[in-house]
Structure 1
Amino acid sequence: MSRRTGRPSHLSTPSARPGRPSARVLAAGAAVAVVLALLGGLVGYAVGRPGATEAGIAELRAADAERDAQQIVELTDMARRTGAELGPILAAVTDESEAGRVPEAARVDEWQQAMKRLTAQFADPPSGMTATNVARGGLRGAVEQAAVAVDTIALAGNLPADRRPEQVALAARQAALAATTWSVAATQLDQLNIDAGNGHQHVHLDGGHDDGGLPPDGEAEGSGG
């Protein structure tokens, strides 16, 4: 029996070897990667970029903040001027009450004219941020209450002598309420100035009477900004 022999090695088919990718394939892959990266960046930019509405809202908020900062400065200046006139009037009303007398008509008339002028400053307030509007409203309320106190003591001169002390005492109570209301608004305005970077700005009244209001904090003017 003849022995089988295998196929000669030179006749056998060589096994397929994995070849290296061609330059064309590599270039195509790189191009795809670049396109995908660009698309990803564009999508990310489109997603992260604020829309027209958000940008508009941001601009409005920035404008409101700038406007409010200016209003705080203007309101503080007006409060200083107003307080310089208001404080002595309220103190005088209290002094007359403690002395049990009615001030002269000419003096009361001067007070009434001053109160009309001070009240007129708040007749057409600008629109601002809520906190600024509250401070302005508090100052206005204090001035209007002070005007009522002056009118009350003015009426005392037309009453019988035995009723005048009661009327003057009522005017003093109204003056104390005005001073207290002013102190609250002044404290708020002080905080607004600190938040706005202006530091402490004290516009509290200095009437020399303990009316139960909020005193200034004692910090140096302009500090804490």
Structure 2
Amino acid sequence: MARLMGSVKTRGRLPGRPAHGPEPGRVRPSRLRPRAVAGLLAGVLLAVAAVLVLPFGGSEEAAQDRVAELEAQERQRDAGLTRELVTTAERARAEVTPVLDGLEQATGSGSATAEDVSRWRRAVLAAAEPFEERPSGGTEVNLARSGFAGAVTVAGRAVETYAASLEASGELAVRLRALAGELHHDAVVAWSVAATQLDVAGVASGIGHVHVFLDGTDPHGG
């Protein structure tokens, strides 16, 4: 009887394992209820809306008034810069006109001396100096200022090219003189473009039409 009882296998827990309870290390994750999820989502959406809307508060009328105020300040600034540029361009024109007239004759049927070239160089430097400072303004006045500065620069290159032709001989001298004539033409065209742009700047800033063209190049006949 004892042998039979010893051969019977027992069912149940293994030695050392507790009878009831979850296995160690395994925890069932908690689940959020639908209402809790909806509440959390609503809170996030409200926070995002507050961040996006609050910085742009204020009436549309106030915003338009502010824009109009800024535009008026820009027009006033550009009007002052345009008046200054008119004065600068008139002085530069007085300097470069004799240079361009002399180059036109020298590269055509006339001629010029080394003394003439020295005088032209001084005039170009005097005309270029005021354009070294370029205060920032509106597009119209900025383009006009850059245009005048470029025209004076090209005039200076024409002078230097003609000076090189005086030191050259033969075919090279002829070619350099012809190149100086082309640069002279480019300088005249560049000045006309800048003067037209200055006229546009004057109208845009409320000053009105301003004509600082070279003699014989004013499209309005001035």
When normalised by structure 2's length, the TM-score is 0.67
Counterpart-to-counterpart distance in 1, 2:173 and 2:82: 42
1:165 aligns with 2:168: no
1:87 aligns with 2:97: yes
Matched residue, 1:124: 133
Matched residue, 1:64: 74
Q: Where do 4+ consecutive residues of structure 1 move more than 6 Å?
A: none
Counterpart-to-counterpart distance in 1, 2:60 and 2:117: 67
Matched residue, 2:214: 205
Counterpart-to-counterpart distance in 2, 1:151 and 1:56: 52
Q: Which amino acid in structure 2 is aligned with residue 215 of structure 1?
A: D
Counterpart-to-counterpart distance in 2, 1:59 and 1:179: 39
Q: Measure how far apart 1:61 and its partner are.
A: 3.0
**Candidates 81, 85, 99, aligned match of 1:75:** 85
Q: Which amino acid in structure 2 is aligned with residue 65 of structure 1?
A: R
Counterpart-to-counterpart distance in 1, 2:78 and 2:60: 30
1:218 aligns with 2:202: no
Structure 2 unaligned spans of 5+: 1-57
Which whole-Å deviations, capped at 9, do the CAs of 1:157-208 have from their partners, x for residues lacking one?
21124432221111111011010011011112123223334333211112x6
Q: Measure how far apart 1:129 and its partner are.
A: 0.2
Q: Which has more radius of gyration?
A: 2
Matched residue, 2:45: none
- The answer to whether the Cα contact below 8 Å between 1:97 and 1:169 also exists between their aligned partners in 2 is yes
Structure 1 unaligned spans of 5+: 1-45, 209-213, 220-225
Question: Secondary structure, in 3 states, of the residue corresponding to 1:133?
Answer: helix
Aligned residues: 165
Counterpart-to-counterpart distance in 1, 2:130 and 2:90: 13
Counterpart-to-counterpart distance in 2, 1:47 and 1:133: 35
Q: Which amino acid in structure 2 is aligned with residue 218 of structure 1?
A: G
The structure with more helix, counted as a fraction of residues: 2
Matched residue, 1:43: none
Which whole-Å deviations, capped at 9, do the CAs of 1:133-160 have from their partners, x for residues lacking one?
1111111111111111011111112112
Identity of aligned residues (%): 36
